[in-house]
Amino acid sequence: MLHFPDGFLWGAATAAHQIEGNNFNNDWWPREHAPGTTIVEPSGDACDSYHRFREDMTLLRDAGLDTYRFSIEWSRIEPEEGFVSRAGIDHYRRMVDTALELGITPMVTLMHFTVPRWFADRGMWRSPDAADRFARFTELALPVLGDDVKWVCTINEPNIAAMIAGGEDPANLVAYGLPDPDLKVADTLLECHRRSREVLSGVGGVRSGWTVATQAFQPEPGCEQAARDYGHQRDDWYLEAARGDDWVGVQAYTRTVIGPDGPRQVPEGVETTLTGWEYYPKALEEGVRSAWEKTGGVPVFVTENGMATADDARRIDYTRGALNGLHAAMADGVEVAGYLHWSLLDNYEWASGFRPTFGLIAVDRETFVRTPKPSLGWLGGVARANAVEEDPQP
Ligand code: NOJ
């Protein structure tokens, strides 16, 4: 068995728009419903977790996990610029209280891709007021955090957000490595992150950071420099920018091989997941090593890792492989605070809709009945033992 350090946190992650349902006041909803959209289906009621969050957290806790990462929806807290919904704030505070009551450590993400419609209509990340608005939203969120939320993520996957802004086509959200990021948007996201952290620094025990999609860019022979250049503006820059933060989030799924003409398609015959990504559990080890190196030793938190599959036994294989790699990186001195699986629930996978199932728990699309999969029990067992078995096929 491979043992993890005492106090290592084990859990799962979700995001508001992907599970709550009826987030019709954010920028993604009109995109889902736009005529001719490339988004395969709208989010609709999603998992109805806006109402069923206690059940979700109870399933997580009963399995043996101890940490839940969820996001708060800006469009519910500030539905119009300057109008603050007390009820929206109370709702998310209730989620924090529920987690604490159940003995779960909450990690709160302030912005997980979606923003209020008014913010999008006023130029989104291209508005000169973007950082002021995001800093103000952080202030509005303080009552949600109270004095008992320690882990706060300001912005989820700023690197993917800058790429979406570069291509504007939401379908690109599922195609790692494409398109070119909008570098001005990247600068603005970093400013938003810094301003948000300033606000959070006034709050007792908060430890804040942002979470980066580490994409394991690997060169074909002779393409080493090309891969470094390609990866820097999509990946490394965001890790370097996290120097000095309290922690950095690693979100790892697959790798991308860079040839002379850019990213390569996954070759025929290589196993892929329901998102079309290569089955590559080692992505996690490479992601945490890279984060540790590029940040100059900022503590890492694995804030997402998992695979979309209909074969739950394969999800267990993948996760075991990923955790073996994580353990190897930690044995070499990389400091890691915890591991959160993506995702707790089968949920709305953005442009790909509900088909790619990442969940440890299945959700009936009509009744919202939750059915834990064997992988939930398996990961809960790992958490209880604070150890994972060695990979039979390293
Ligand atoms: C990254 C994103 O943060 C999350 O929203 C998405 O569902 C997963 N990875 C899987 O693509």
What's the 18 CA to ligand 1 centre distance in angstroms?
9
Is residue 35 in a domain?
Answer: yes
Is residue 394 in a domain?
Answer: no
Is 17 in contact with 113 (CB distance < 8 Å)?
yes
Q: Is the pLDDT of residue 176 over 70?
A: no
Is residue 38 in a domain?
Answer: yes
Q: Is the pLDDT of residue 13 over 60?
A: yes
Rounded (10°) angle between helices 374-385 and 49-63 = 50
Domain span at residue 10 reads 2-388
Is residue 173 in a domain?
Answer: yes
Is 230 in contact with 163 (CB distance < 8 Å)?
no
Looking up residue 363, the CATH number of its domain turns out to be 3.20.20.80
Q: Is the pLDDT of residue 23 over 90?
A: yes
Residues flanking ligand 1, CB < 6 Å:
15, 18, 156-157, 251, 304, 342, 349
Task: State the Cα–Cα distance between residues 125 and 394, nearest whole angstrom.
Answer: 43
Q: Which of 33-42, 176-185, 219-228, 266-275 has the lowest mean pLDDT?
A: 176-185
Work out which ligand 1 atom sits closest to the CA atom of 174. Answer: 11
- Helix, strand or coil for residue 110? strand
Residue 253 CA: distances (Å) to CA of 60, 228, 304, 318: 22, 19, 8, 10
What's the 181 CA to ligand 1 centre distance in angstroms?
17
Work out which ligand 1 atom sits closest to the CA atom of 347. Answer: 7
Is residue 210 in a domain?
Answer: yes
pLDDT tens, position by position, 206-244 = 999 999 999 999 999 999 999 999 999 999 999 999 999
| pLDDT score recorded for residue 392 | 86
- Span 99-115, average pLDDT: 98
Q: Is the pLDDT of residue 165 over 90?
A: no
Q: Is the pLDDT of residue 170 over 70?
A: no
| pLDDT score recorded for residue 171 | 64
pTM: 0.98
Catalytic residue set? 157, 304
Is residue 305 in a domain?
Answer: yes
| Number of domains the chain contains | 1
Work out which ligand 1 atom sits closest to the CA atom of 349. Answer: 7
| pLDDT score recorded for residue 257 | 95
Is residue 317 in a domain?
Answer: yes
Q: Is the pLDDT of residue 169 over 90?
A: no
- Span 157-186, average pLDDT: 79
Work out which ligand 1 atom sits closest to the CA atom of 157. Answer: 3
Calculate the dihedral angle through the C-alpha atoms of 3, 308, 160, 179, rounding to the nearest 10 degrees: 130
Is residue 265 in a domain?
Answer: yes
pLDDT tens, position by position, 321-378 = 999 999 999 999 999 999 999 999 999 999 999 999 999 999 999 999 999 999 999 9
What's the 378 CA to ligand 1 centre distance in angstroms?
22
Q: Is the pLDDT of residue 131 over 50?
A: yes
| pLDDT score recorded for residue 167 | 79
What's the 203 CA to ligand 1 centre distance in angstroms?
28
Is 235 in contact with 159 (CB distance < 8 Å)?
yes
Task: State the Cα–Cα distance between residues 351 and 365, nearest whole angstrom.
Answer: 17
Nearest CA to ligand 1 atom 6: 349
Strands 105-111 and 151-156: parallel
What's the 221 CA to ligand 1 centre distance in angstroms?
30
What is the average pLDDT value for the chain, to the nearest integer? Answer: 96
| pLDDT score recorded for residue 175 | 47
pLDDT tens, position by position, 251-261 = 999 999 999 98
Nearest CA to ligand 1 atom 7: 349
